[in-house]
């Protein structure tokens, strides 16, 4: 089985994914890290040098590769992955995949992301918390229709890592 975690940046996909993989004795894989390794380039550099269209094509190619050739993995997607190239159909039509949308409220996302915005090119230009909330709100409005296609939605607002893990494990039993 492949467990796919999706959601907006800052929702805890990588942190939770590593913990979940440990608990299940699965391998953990972050799709962005996988793409960087295969392309021998950072994601931000790929966007700069080859463009978003190239990146999105590679993202879908590698997602398909992982789903078709892997087992016993927890896979953390990039925040935009579900929104492009029929990726959610690929995920939902794969018999060996279970997907979880990690849903976190906009004010909580904003708090997490504002303090770490320098590491995230998409939001590094935002200068105030109010602008961050507005940016995330607009972005989520566009992305929620894709995120909500996950098999399960886990509301992570004010929940500990342990509580979120337990919610996911309950759905896997």
C-alpha–C-alpha distance, residues 108 and 173, integer Å: 29
149 among annotated binding-site residues: no
**Burial class for 8, CB neighbours closer than 10 Å (0-12, 13-18, 19+):** buried
C-alpha–C-alpha distance, residues 139 and 96, integer Å: 30
120 among annotated binding-site residues: yes
112 among annotated binding-site residues: no
81 among annotated binding-site residues: no
13 among annotated binding-site residues: yes
15 among annotated binding-site residues: yes
97 in Cβ contact with 64 (< 8 Å): no
12 among annotated binding-site residues: yes
Binding residues for Mg(2+): 14
Binding residues for ATP: 10-15, 120
Binding residues for substrate: 32, 56, 79, 143
Binding residues: 10-15, 32, 56, 79, 120, 143
């Amino acid at each position: 089985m492949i467990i796919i975690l999706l959601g907006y940046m800052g929702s805890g996909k990588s942190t939770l994914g590593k913990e979940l993989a440990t608990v299940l004795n699965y391998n953990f894989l972050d799709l962005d890290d996988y793409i960087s390794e295969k392309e021998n380039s950072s994601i931000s550099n790929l966007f700069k040098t080859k463009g978003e269209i190239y990146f999105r094509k590679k993202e879908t190619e590698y997602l398909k590769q992982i789903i078709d050739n892997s087992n016993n993995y927890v896979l953390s997607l990039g925040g935009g992955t579900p929104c492009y190239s029929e990726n959610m159909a690929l995920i939902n039509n794969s018999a060996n995949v279970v997907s979880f949308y990690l849903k976190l409220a906009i004010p909580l996302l904003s708090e997490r992301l504002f303090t770490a915005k320098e590491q995230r090119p998409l939001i590094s230009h935002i200068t105030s918390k109010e602008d961050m909330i507005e940016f995330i709100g607009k972005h989520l409005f566009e992305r929620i229709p894709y995120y909500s296609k996950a098999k399960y939605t886990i509301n992570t607002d004010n929940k500990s890592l342990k509580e979120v893990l337990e919610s996911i494990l309950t759905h896997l039993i």
